[in-house]
Amino acid sequence: MPTSDAEIERVRELVASIPPGRVATYGDIAGAAGLSTPRTVGWIMRTDAADLPWHRVLRADGTPASHLARRQLARLVEEGCPLRGDRVDMTVARHRFGSQSGES
């Protein structure tokens, strides 16, 4: 089933709500948006995220996208996001979205 405009906007809202120095995973966002797979979030981020804090969205293990790693980690460090080597310390930096409503 195609991704609806409402689902795209919900993902955009969630990404925009991640505060500086914090991060969320593709799965966190998918869960908060009510999507069935994190891959949909990845697709939205690739096609419609230029005006969003895209650098705050990571894989579940805290690693950045390989083709953006240096730039993404540099932006996160500028915001005070804690790193452990080449990944974000998810136990400290993970943003938790609100309860069932998905609000942050």
Mean pLDDT by 10 residues, the chain (104 residues): 90 97 98 96 92 96 92 96 95 85 41
- Asked whether the beta carbons of 30 and 38 are under 8 A apart, the reply is yes
pLDDT, position 101: 42
Phi-psi label, residue 21: left if phi above 0, alpha if psi -120 to 50, beta otherwise: left
pLDDT, position 99: 53
pLDDT, position 86: 92
pLDDT, position 103: 42
| Overall pTM surpassing 0.85 (yes/no) | yes
pLDDT, position 49: 86
Nearest to 46 by CA among 65, 60, 21, 62: 65
